[in-house]
């Protein structure tokens, strides 16, 4: 079951105009909210990010948070999986094709769900492969825009190289990956590039930083150079669907040195375990009205 503009319906019935600015210009924003045991994870934080994406492109937020919560709850209830990705998209709406934002449009609101399948234990054992590519996207990667052509091109290049992810570098500095944030470990310290217009402020990124802080794991949020990425002891990508996934080869070369080379490192394993515990604790917490 999906939701479109006030109605719940089977996906086959969900239809929009070809003049929708989401179709014509990619003029819209989105969120993907992970759901565990039918409970949304970090819903408030996703709704805060949605609000700032909408503000950045001057679309009025169609709903208050309480209403969003209710709609997300109904989508969860209307779909068969215990663990889901709830996808939510808002476009500016339907208008005659003209680049400048027309005023007074009714935004198109769409939601759907899919099964959430986190990385398998086997993948966590081996880690994933990534390639490093130049970040040629625009300069407002902090907006969770549906215009994802750059990300799609980069991810396709990674897939064609047999890799799970493309890790991106702009002017010699690590930004993020095509659909995830990136952390590295150097000299035992976890390093994360700071939030800026050049990266998406990941909800998982924030959870990981909270976990590092709460467990006194050495870390620094600071710009990370490409050479630091390439000589890191560990590299991980984080996202709602991939959680904390170790990258064990970069451009075909093993990440790390010595006995850990090409294998998930100890810090990644620890943070992954802490992330699982954190998820469980949130799922067991009482539900607030
Ligand atoms: C470009 C990009 N960066 C980072 C992320 C991670 O964000 P989150 O942790 O909120 O899933 C995503 C998620 O899809 C993304 O597309």
What residue's CA is closest to ligand 1, atom 7?
202
Instruction: State the DSSP string of 221-276.
Output: E---BHHHHHT-SEEEEEETTTEEEEEEEETTEESSSGGGTTS--HHHHHHHHHHH
For residue 93, what are its two tokens? 């709406």
Q: What are the beta bridge partners of residue 7?
A: 4
186-208: average pLDDT: 98
How many angstroms separate the CA atoms of 2 and 25, rounded? 23
Q: Is the pTM of this model over 0.85?
A: yes
203-225: average pLDDT: 98
How many angstroms separate the CA atoms of 177 and 263, rounded? 20
Separation of 289 CA from ligand 1 center, angstroms?
Answer: 28
Separation of 181 CA from ligand 1 center, angstroms?
Answer: 6
175-193: average pLDDT: 98
pLDDT at site 283: 79
Catalytic site positions: 144
**289 pLDDT more than 50:** no
How many angstroms separate the CA atoms of 246 and 121, rounded? 12
Q: What are the beta bridge partners of residue 84?
A: 35, 115
Selection from 7, 12, 29, 4 nearest residue 111 by Cα? 4
> Which protein residues are within 6 Å of ligand 1, measured from CB?
32, 151, 176, 179-181, 200, 202-205, 238-240
Q: Which residue has the tokens 């609101």?
A: 109
Separation of 239 CA from ligand 1 center, angstroms?
Answer: 5
How many Cβ atoms sit within 10 Å of the Cβ of residue 120? 9
């Amino acid at each position: 079951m999906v939701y479109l503009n006030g109605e719940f319906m089977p996906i086959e019935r969900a239809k929009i105009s070809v003049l929708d600015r989401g179709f014509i210009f990619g003029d819209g924003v989105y969120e993907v909210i992970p759901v565990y045991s039918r409970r949304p994870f970090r819903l408030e934080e996703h709704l805060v990010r949605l609000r700032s994406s909408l503000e950045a492109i001057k679309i009025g937020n169609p709903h208050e948070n309480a209403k969003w919560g209710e709609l997300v709850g109904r989508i969860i209830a209307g779909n068969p999986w215990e663990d889901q990705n709830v996808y939510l998209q808002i476009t500016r709406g339907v208008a005659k094709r003209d680049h400048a934002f027309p005023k007074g449009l009714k935004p198109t609101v769409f939601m759907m769900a899919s099964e959430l399948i986190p990385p398998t234990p086997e993948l966590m054992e081996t880690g994933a492969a990534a390639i490093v590519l130049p970040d040629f996207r625009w300069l407002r990667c902090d907006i969770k825009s549906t215009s994802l052509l750059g990300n799609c091109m980069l991810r396709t290049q990674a897939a064609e190289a047999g890799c799970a992810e493309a890790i991106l570098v702009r002017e010699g500095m690590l930004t993020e990956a095509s659909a995830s944030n990136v952390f590295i470990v150097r000299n035992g310290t976890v390093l994360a590039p700071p939030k800026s217009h050049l990266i998406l402020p990941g909800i998982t990124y924030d959870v990981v930083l909270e976990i590092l802080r709460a467990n006194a794991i050495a870390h620094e949020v600071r710009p990370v150079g490409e050479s630091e990425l390439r000589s890191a002891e560990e590299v991980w990508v984080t996202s709602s669907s991939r959680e904390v996934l170790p990258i064990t080869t970069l451009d075909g070369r093993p990440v790390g040195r010595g006995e850990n080379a090409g294998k998930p490192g100890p810090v990644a394993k620890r943070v992954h375990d802490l992330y699982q515990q954190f998820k469980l604790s949130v799922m067991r917490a009482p539900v607030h009205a």
